[in-house]
Chain A
């Protein structure tokens, strides 16, 4: 179970303090798949970073009762000057997993071939997404945080993601952040909308989508 209680996050900017999250409550149970909808700038990435622990909230409480992945996105979590394999080894050491055992799986999943031995800065965004995904699968987290990474890539990648994440690991939790309702409709059982720094829950997916679509008419605060 991951719980967020009255979580607030503000950043100091040149124009004063910017309150991105103003008191967010969220609970993600084991095996639950939650979608977070929000417009650009609504604070989705901030929220994901807080859930993962990459950043600390300004106030409020976050309790993690299960292992959580780092925010899976295009890049982030990797070092550009290291090769794909070096990054795999580093992350495996970080999380206490044997890298050699996972190497075969990562090679198969990413299909990067000799690029695995090239520095990450030579990768395209699609290649990076594949590597990020493969390495996070190798760690076997209880909860995966996905910041739109599975929106990138061709149908083959989507198929592989679907198989690895949604079939093989269907018992895990998932927090999927997107501004695309269809993606969330496809994979999640519950959706919340992040707007003006607050999280709005809805009893079912359709109501969440309705609220989200209609809120696009309203301008920024």
Chain B
């Protein structure tokens, strides 16, 4: 996946650069792109980078408050706040990663004048930023609400971490696919927006699979991210409500999506022209 590039101060034989130097260049490029992303996305005014955490926090608090007021969720084994935090954080992950990668290349065409900046790097920098943001938001919100007493500490941290990592992987792969295809097809970009709105209720964030009738359960378990959300809630709240995650299935989906995404990115990279 790391292509061979000429280093800035190394004389290179025609067989290419050693992996160590290539890796250093790759990290430098993604680091530079990341810093640039932070400045362009969050600016220097108002609270800047903190938006990464405050934006999801505001939304989660709003949703939790709405649910409390509407009493949509009866007092059960899972507190409303915990349900909202675990649910919305997962949506943030895949939705933000894919939305930020959509049409990410076109405004950045001028950056690809630089030899080391590739299409994959631009996606990688954006995905990393969004993953970091959603993770920070989940961690900060969890600590806050646990400290406040609105939810208890996660019962099984290992399950939480594994499910979250799988969800991050899923979001990254989704970002690659959406980013690569939206560059070639205007239609896809429009349709994708609609798909994210439809996927929000279906993605497992707003329900537990156990609540659904049998046939619905079987259908819904085909969505990979549902397994992530179920696993996350299993780790947080234990088995008082049975969860139906299959991490192995999720893993295979991620592998397949990653392969597909990388192929699409390669195709897009070949057809992109720096302006």
- How many interface contacts (CB-CB < 8 Å) are there between A and B? 79
Contact in complex: A77, B36 (CB < 8 Å): no
Contact in complex: B36, A54 (CB < 8 Å): no
Q: What distance in Å separates the Cβ of B49 from its nearest Cβ neighbour in chain A?
A: 15
Among the 9-residue stretches B5-13, B63-71, B88-96, B175-183, the one with 4 or more Cβ atoms under 8 Å from chain A is B5-13
Determine whether B262 belongs to the interface, using a CB cutoff of 8 Å to chain A. Answer: no
Q: A65-B11, A82-B40, A90-B36 are in contact. Are A54 and B113 (CB under 8 A)?
A: yes
Determine whether A158 belongs to the interface, using a CB cutoff of 8 Å to chain B. Answer: no
Considering only residues 6-27 of chain B, those with a C-beta below 8 Å from chain A are 6-9, 11-12, 14
Contact in complex: A54, B110 (CB < 8 Å): no
Across the interface, name the chain B residue whose C-beta is closest to A56: B270
Kindly state the interface size class of chain A when it binds its partner.
Answer: 20 to 34
Determine whether A71 belongs to the interface, using a CB cutoff of 8 Å to chain B. Answer: yes
Residues in B neighbouring A11, C-beta threshold 8 A: 273
Contact in complex: B39, A67 (CB < 8 Å): no
Contact in complex: A76, B8 (CB < 8 Å): no
Tally B residues with Cβ within 8 Å of A: 30
Considering only residues 80-114 of chain A, those with a C-beta below 8 Å from chain B are 80-82, 86, 89-91, 93-96
Q: What distance in Å separates the Cβ of A123 from its nearest Cβ neighbour in chain B?
A: 14
Contact in complex: B29, A94 (CB < 8 Å): yes
Question: CA separation between A37 and B117, bound complex, in Å?
Answer: 28
Determine whether B259 belongs to the interface, using a CB cutoff of 8 Å to chain A. Answer: no
Of B114, B116, B275, most A-chain CB atoms within 10 Å: B114
Contact in complex: B28, A94 (CB < 8 Å): yes
Question: CA separation between A79 and B108, bound complex, in Å?
Answer: 7
Determine whether B112 belongs to the interface, using a CB cutoff of 8 Å to chain A. Answer: yes
Of A63, A78, A91, most B-chain CB atoms within 10 Å: A63
Contact in complex: A52, B11 (CB < 8 Å): no
Of B6, B40, B112, B115, most A-chain CB atoms within 10 Å: B115
Q: What distance in Å separates the Cβ of A21 from its nearest Cβ neighbour in chain B?
A: 14
Contact in complex: B113, A79 (CB < 8 Å): no
Question: CA separation between A44 and B36, bound complex, in Å?
Answer: 31
Of B8, B9, B31, B273, the residue contacting A55 (CB under 8 A) is B273
Contact in complex: A66, B115 (CB < 8 Å): no
Determine whether A29 belongs to the interface, using a CB cutoff of 8 Å to chain B. Answer: no
Contact in complex: B275, A94 (CB < 8 Å): no
Determine whether A53 belongs to the interface, using a CB cutoff of 8 Å to chain B. Answer: yes
Question: CA separation between A55 and B8, bound complex, in Å?
Answer: 18
Question: CA separation between A61 and B4, bound complex, in Å?
Answer: 14
Known: A49-B113, A53-B6, A67-B8. 16 other contacts (CB 8 A): A11-B273, A53-B115, A54-B274, A65-B12, A68-B6, A70-B115, A71-B113, A75-B110, A76-B275, A77-B111, A79-B110, A80-B110, A82-B40, A86-B39, A93-B28, A95-B8
Top 3 closest pairs, chain A to chain B, by CB? A53-B115, A93-B32, A77-B113
